[in-house]
Amino acid sequence: MKLDVLLGLQWGDEGKGKVVDFLTPHYDVIARFQGGPNAGHSLEFNGVKHVLHIIPSGIFHPEKINIIGNGVVIDPIVFKKEIEALKAKKTDMKHLYISRKAHLILPTHRLLDAASEASKGKSKIGSTLKGIGPAYRDKTGRNGLRVGDLFTSDFRTRYRELLDQHLSLLKSYGDPPDYQKEEEEWFESLSVLRSFTAIDSEYAINQYLAGNKSILAEGAQGTMLDIDFGSYPFVTSSNTVCAGACTGLGVAPSRIGEVFGIVKAYCTRVGSGPFPTELLDATGELLRERGSEYGATTGRPRRCGWLDLPALKYSVMINGVTSLIMTKADVLSGFDRIKVCTHYKINGEVTDRIPFDVNAEITPVYKEMKGWRDDISCNASYDSLPAALKDYISFIEQETGVPFKIISVSPDREKTIIRSE
Ligand code: GDP
Ligand code: IMO
Ligand code: MG
């Protein structure tokens, strides 16, 4: 059996949560492989919207196994809140397992995140301030605390050692802020984390595959926020790309099956960094309002713009995408003309490559296409979609060389079109 991967091809918020929830009935196991509480994955069914941050988006299917992989960073306080919200909705979580090797976010990681951002002034990353960067830094610096450490007798001592390092680092930014109240809450929250089964998820996942169980790996963020391939330094701190599923779950590259790449019908970005097709005008505002483009984690307004093909082609290449999924096609309804960026103009030269320099002045070269005005949020079949939308889809397929298999036309689980062969 192979492991399928589902990931975002833009700057995050492509609709991963909705589509993972939709696809879960086809799988035995759903596994998150990277990121942490910086993610906000929304899904909707029976008229109720749910937002998940650390827990995989398969959790609303109680018979399925949900795993938080070793590549994820967990804030016990956020985890506890998420569990409590799910319990209040009577969600059955008896098959939720957590990797012993997943790293913990400490209260002081969040303080370090805030201090680092404040020190950057105008060039700040626009981090979600959830402590992601400092937690991954401790992981690669070989100082981190992991879920498995929670069950050892010297946990408090190791926590103290790391805390002392954090406090001296915080001093270099100025007077360290109070952390004691948060620390108390953090220690209280640990009991919830400990109440779930911690597993060697790499063994579990490979045993599931050997036993012919199907697995869907759920990515967080998007390729353009990847630590290696995104618009560095305006990125997150993990590998959001397909290879991240191998390191974040312990599966061999040869075990990867389908790679589902999710694309919003237009582009959005939260936080700082280059966004060549950003629309700072009334059209951008219209996309934001129609698409309810406000962050699921921070509530920040998302920057909006037209689809960026050079970025999409790059993401398809890096991830080896085998199937595309389009979300929010309904939000593009109502335009007479829509635009797609096919190339960038940089210093007078036309290219379809992503430049190394994040400060490069990019002028997008657009192809204009016919829009559509039909309300498609109730469409049940691919054939009944407006011809102009099908042309838009075909054009992206031609450019990327990858077929669209799913078109989402509403936040609701039911409003999802599977394209027949
Ligand atoms: P994720 O981080 O990739 O899971 O995406 P988010 O949940 O942060 O943001 C996607 C937003 O779009 C959420 O509010 C979803 O409910 C919503 N959404 C997902 N698919 C569709 C769609 O096809 N149409 C519309 N209108 N909204 C959608
Ligand atoms: P999902 O999984 C959109 C962005 C932040 C910031 C940068 C670094 O919901 O798609 P970090 O907190 O990771 O240090 O922030 O990355 N960012 C996201 N943007 N969706 C996300 O997750 C994001 N997670 C981080 O806005 O620009
Ligand atoms: Mg999101």
Say if residue 25 is exposed, middle or buried (CB neighbours under 10 Å; 0-12, 13-18, 19+).
exposed
Residue type, 406: I
Determine contact, residues 174/144, Cβ cutoff 8 Å: no
Please confirm, yes or no, whether 375 is among the known catalytic residues. no
- In this prediction, residue 42 carries a pLDDT of 97
65: three-class secondary structure by DSSP: strand
The preferred substitution site among 6, 128, 302 for testing ligand 2, maximizing ligand atoms within 8 Å of CB, is 128
Q: Does the predicted TM-score (pTM) go above 0.95?
A: yes
Q: Which residues lie below 8 Å from residue 190, measured CB to CB, with a gap of 6+?
A: 76, 150
Grouped pLDDT means (10 residues each) for the chain, 421 residues:
97 98 98 98 97 98 98 98 97 97 98 96 95 98 98 98 97 92 97 98 98 98 98 98 98 98 98 97 97 91 98 98 98 96 98 96 98 90 95 98 97 94 65
The number of the ligand nearest the C-alpha atom of 411 reads 1
The preferred substitution site among 7, 13, 19, 42 for testing ligand 1, maximizing ligand atoms within 8 Å of CB, is 42
Establish whether residue 18 lines the binding site of ligand 1, counting it when its CB lies within 6 angstroms of any ligand atom: yes
- In this prediction, residue 379 carries a pLDDT of 78
Please confirm, yes or no, whether 41 is among the known catalytic residues. yes
Determine contact, residues 117/127, Cβ cutoff 8 Å: yes
Atom number, ligand 1, closest to the C-alpha of residue 331:
26
The number of the ligand nearest the C-alpha atom of 223 reads 2
- In this prediction, residue 421 carries a pLDDT of 65
- In this prediction, residue 420 carries a pLDDT of 79
Distance from C-alpha of 236 to C-alpha of 221, rounded to nearest angstrom: 8
